[in-house]
Structure 1
Amino acid sequence: MKLFSKARNQLVKTSGFSKYLVYAFGEIILVVTGILIALSINNWSEDKKQTKNLDNILHIFRSDIVRDTTRADYIIKYYKKQDSVGRLALSDSISKDFYKKNGDLQSIIFTGIPLAITRNGYDLLKNYSYDVEIAQDSTVVYGLALYNEINASFIDLNTKIEKDVYENTLNMKENYNFAADMYMRRENQKARDYFKSDDFKNRLALNLQLKAQGAVSLLQGFNAASKMLLEKMDKRLNN
């Protein structure tokens, strides 16, 4: 009897310990499950926050693209007008009144419009793309690649046009004395003769190559690529 009683007590103790282990294990499961749920909610919240931030940046970038393409259209129109007038000046079949009616011809080789991108959304997106998933987003990749390339091309062409304008201005300053009459729109025979000269025509042709061919072609390509980018962004933002 004593042996049976002892065994029974031992069984009760063992059973109690087993229940404790089951309870403890259950508590551990609950704690781990709670942690996993909390992490899942936190990750979901972070992903949602990240998506919202990216969408906000893309909206800013989209506005910049619209602004840049609008400016590009203006420059294209402006340089095409210069090219139209310049080509007539380069021909040998212009009327005597041409130079009087087209006073803006005189300013072509001395002026240029800087080509530039709006950097707000571009810089935000570039700084935000450190995340691997975002960096692999096709819209982000396309947008950054386009603006990286066009920015480098703008800088290169701006340098060439600025150098050309500077050299033309320096030539006028050092070798001719009718700038005041040009500025005041006064008649000056020497000025009229210069704008018919081979030196002017040569400088004009080189200047138009940089603007009407170089800048216009570059801006038209930018506008076409930007149209595709805007379609990608609209599709991305509307999903």
Structure 2
Amino acid sequence: MLAFFRRIRQQLLSENKFSKYLLYAFGEIILVVIGILIALQINNWNEERKNTQLEKNYLISISTDLENLSLNTQRIYVDQFDEKIENLLFAKKYIEVPFAIVDTLQFINTISKGAASFSGFYLVDDEAYQELVSTGNLRLIRNDSLRKDLSEFYTDMKVQAELSKRYNTEYGNYINAIRPFNNDNPSYVNLYDVNEFLEELKTKKFRQLVDHELTYGYRTRRMAKNVVKNAQKLKERVEEEIK
């Protein structure tokens, strides 16, 4: 192609047709510019296609994170806290109106389970979103509303996790101080600890700790339920965007 244009150029120059040569040269420049513009447009299309695929990959990963967050929060902080609160209410019922204990070991173990999960809410599945932010690729999420909602959701999760670290109760430590807990034999309580445990149930301090732990349990379960609900709602929005 270049050889063809070169021959035309040489022919026009040899024939002394300068005006036609200028017109030809101008036409050649236009063709070059058009070629460059076409190349740039193709490059832009390719870049846009890559960004679209990258955005889709990120959204798929975020959807997976939200699914895991929802399932894990339900399992660890809703279901387990349902049981935790039930056991604490059992202890509170006995403290307020003592009843005959049929199985002392089972009774103590039930109350002891109220001490489970007393170190705060800290569960966050946000690897995909954090990668988006750290790499500067958050701009790839073209839906402004979705990008804003993702930012608000994960910021709120971080705030809640930080706040929960400050909210710790003494109930778990208190229970462990009355009776040692052995993972290999969680149901075992020796006779001395049984007697001490039953005596502690009558104290004002134990009653206050149960109420404090219940407050923490209700608060954490409510927060966990909101996380599950909001994660599921956001996951639906992300999946709509993927489609």
TM over 0.5: yes
- Asked if residue 185 in structure 1 is aligned to residue 189 in structure 2, the reply is yes
Cross-structure match for 2:237? 232
Contact between 1:99 and 1:192, CA under 8 Å: does it hold in 2? no
Contact between 2:116 and 2:172, CA under 8 Å: does it hold in 1? yes
Report the alpha carbon displacement of residue 146 of structure 1 after superposing the two structures with TM: 0.3
Q: Identity, % of aligned pairs?
A: 20
CA distance in 2, matches of 1:61, 1:132: 15
CA distance in 1, matches of 2:167, 2:200: 24
Cross-structure match for 2:210? 204
Cross-structure match for 1:219? 224
Cross-structure match for 2:47? 46
The 1:98–1:30 alpha-carbon spacing in structure 2 relative to 1, beyond 3 Å, is: farther
Report the alpha carbon displacement of residue 145 of structure 1 after superposing the two structures with TM: 1.6
Using the size of structure 1 for normalisation, the TM-score is 0.79
Q: How does 1:11-160 map to 2 (within 5 A)?
A: 16-74=17-75, 75-91=77-93, 92-97=96-101, 100=104, 101-102=106-107, 103-109=109-115, 111-112=117-118, 114-130=121-137, 132=139, 134=141, 137-160=144-167
Write the letter of the residue equivalent to 1:151. Answer: K
Q: Deviations over 1:34-84 (max 9, x none)?
A: 111111111111111011111111111111111111111112111111112
Moved more, 106-115 or 137-146: 106-115
CA distance in 2, matches of 1:53, 1:154: 29
Structure with higher Rg: it is 1
Moved more, 136-145 or 64-73: 136-145
Paired residues, number = 220
Using the size of structure 2 for normalisation, the TM-score is 0.78
CA distance in 2, matches of 1:21, 1:35: 21
Question: Where does the alignment leave 5 or more consecutive residues of structure 2 unmatched?
Answer: 1-13
CA distance in 1, matches of 2:219, 2:180: 28
Write the letter of the residue equivalent to 1:193. Answer: E
Structure 1 SS opposite 2:17: helix
The 1:94–1:79 alpha-carbon spacing in structure 2 relative to 1, beyond 3 Å, is: farther
- The CA RMSD over aligned residues, in Å, is 3.0
The 1:94–1:61 alpha-carbon spacing in structure 2 relative to 1, beyond 3 Å, is: farther
Q: Deviations over 1:136-166 (max 9, x none)?
A: 63223212220111122022113323xx24x
CA distance in 1, matches of 2:173, 2:41: 66
Report the alpha carbon displacement of residue 110 of structure 1 after superposing the two structures with TM: 6.3
Question: Where does the alignment leave 5 or more consecutive residues of structure 1 unmatched?
Answer: 1-12
Structure 1 SS opposite 2:166: helix
Contact between 1:126 and 1:144, CA under 8 Å: does it hold in 2? no
Report the alpha carbon displacement of residue 98 of structure 1 after superposing the two structures with TM: 7.1
CA distance in 2, matches of 1:36, 1:183: 77
